[in-house]
A and B are shown apart, each in its own frame.
Chain A
């Protein structure tokens, strides 16, 4: 091969490479607004050397395409944090709505203040003690009982409605998951057939975008397989997509609640703890709301059965001894008591204010009913304290979830900041960014450490604090 033609080849090759590099650069520019697009750099590769007079001389370079500047480890960490963050966000949203049901001042609340209702109800018995035959005072007992029953049952209805709404949301999310796993399987297939041994560029971006979207919806694990393939499982280990095949999540009704399956396996509880929106939704649907509803049922059951028992242990204004009848409907079981709670007594004369055999003007049974307010008749607590604890437990859950959510959102922000700052930068710039990150972490640790010491001394001097 002649020297001149070799030189021409070298120049031509270099020109072609420049053009291809420009194409890659322009691809970056045209995809600048595409969030899923990963910046590419030209993949320069050296041509086979040319031998002149027995010496190997480089024959220039060609560009074989773009290499995406991504890191799957970083992507996976980001995906993982997004799964936790999305779960926490959807749980927080559900808990806030749940809490609103117990906050009369909130715009979304359609119910009254159950805590005040309980106090008012027992107070009307206290008023009745001084004038047990007074018709207005008797009417006041029934009226306050109606308000209490109405607010408890409406709250229970709201919780049931929220649960049904979350059930629907879960179904919608699972449908989106199935769409994404199908798309992911298709991209997997394309990548495996077109780029089994190299970076798949735009297709890889597409796959990462699918994974990122999936991470918003559901907790997943990624497993890289042969020929650039990928399998995706739930965090519980059930296969969602295996290379080119997607396995759809199916659903079925179990006692009025939608359960989800992969094959024959019920993965509902695994999904709840797995992350993503579905995790938060199912946690609220299957844990937070049922727990709150169970407490409300316990409250309704306790008040209804105790008041009915007392009323049937006295003498009403008509002289009925031990047979005055129920004030509230008589619940047969705790579950469902709140939603069904209602006042069945219509005649105020049927309120048994007197003790049996003490004459209709007596007030001893009214005293017994009023005293129920001070007795630990519900879960070892007074009715007011039981309700107060219910509301405060809910408040603590919202507070803890808010803190968790803020921390996870912050973590995602940090990672996203780093992903964008690391993409395509030199190793020196990267080292500089990391040094800054390290400094920030160390200084924040110092702040925390000092304040934690002050906090510890607060405990030593007997100051009550809330940090665990």
Chain B
């Protein structure tokens, strides 16, 4: 079902607009906006197929070639950033679990700190960027 604002736009123009808005939202990590756009995009795509405007939508994308290319590149960089941050988070969780275990085992934090330093330096992710 095509929502109201999309009806005012020709499919091609709407798609181009979505690419640009998605790019801006991805840069600022606006997940809600991106999810909204993904839904709009799916609706618009389905709508253009059902109404036989697929060709018009495709033609509309012609002018959005560079916008689409940019979104692709930012997606690529985002995936790399996400990968680094996720691995860091995993390391922090491991550290927290380790420290908790040490405390339960009655070891002193000094010893735990030393081990934590060791674990940070020995992590396979270290230096991998």
Contacts and interface: CB of A to CB of B under 8 A. Distances in A.
Interface residues of A, number: 62
Interface string B46-87: 001000001101110110111011111111111111101111
Interface stretch (A75-83, A276-284, A306-314, A375-383): A75-83
B89 interface: yes
A1 interface: no
Interface string A2-36: 00000000000000000000000000000000000
Contact of A445 (B15, B73, B75): B75
B129 A450 contact: no
Given A73-B84, A77-B84, A427-B92, A410 B109 contact: no
Contacts of A255: none
A191 to B, nearest CB: 14
Interface stretch (A98-106, A111-119, A127-135, A430-438): A430-438
A410 B18 contact: no
A447 B22 contact: yes
B2 interface: no
A436 B29 contact: yes
Contact of A417 (B29, B79, B121): B29
Nearest to B116: A67
A346 interface: no
B115 interface: no
A444 B82 contact: no
Nearest to A447: B22
Contacts of A434: 82, 85-86, 89
B81 A44 contact: no
Q: Which of B30, B37, B59, B88 has most A Cβ within 10 Å?
A: B88
A414 B35 contact: no
A439 B74 contact: no
Contacts of A408: 77
A455 B61 contact: yes
Contact of A80 (B37, B55, B93, B129): B129
Give the size range of B's interface with the partner.
35 or more
A452 interface: yes
B65 A465 contact: yes
A407 B74 contact: yes
B8 interface: no
Interface in A440-468: 440-441, 443-448, 450-455, 457-458, 461, 463-468
Contacts of B9: none
Contacts of A74: 84-85, 88
Interface string B19-39: 100110111111100110110
A443 B32 CA distance: 9
Contacts of B75: 441, 444-445, 448
A224 B127 contact: yes
A147 B76 CA distance: 48
Given A403-B69, A437-B29, A444-B22, A411 B78 contact: yes
B29 A440 contact: yes
A437 B110 contact: no
A418 B81 CA distance: 9
A393 interface: no
A399 B19 CA distance: 18
A71 B95 CA distance: 13
B110 A45 contact: yes
Nearest to B83: A77
A72 B41 contact: no
A413 B78 CA distance: 10
Contacts of A444: 22, 25-26, 34, 38, 71, 74-75, 78
A354 B29 CA distance: 72
Contact of B26 (A80, A410, A427, A467): A410
Contacts of B41: 446-447, 450-451
Interface of A: 43-46, 71-74, 76-77, 80-81, 197-198, 222-224, 399, 403-404, 406-408, 410-411, 413-415, 417-418, 422, 427, 430-431, 434, 436-441, 443-448, 450-455, 457-458, 461, 463-468
The 3 A-B pairs of least Cβ separation, nearest first, read: A466-B65, A458-B58, A443-B34
28 contacts: A43-B113, A71-B88, A72-B127, A73-B87, A73-B125, A73-B128, A73-B129, A77-B80, A80-B129, A81-B77, A399-B66, A406-B74, A407-B70, A410-B27, A411-B77, A414-B78, A415-B81, A422-B88, A431-B89, A434-B85, A437-B29, A441-B79, A443-B35, A447-B37, A447-B38, A463-B55, A464-B62, A467-B72
Given A443-B34, A466-B66, 18 more contacts: A43-B113, A45-B108, A73-B125, A223-B127, A403-B69, A411-B77, A411-B81, A414-B81, A415-B81, A438-B86, A440-B29, A443-B35, A451-B19, A454-B54, A454-B57, A463-B58, A467-B66, A468-B69
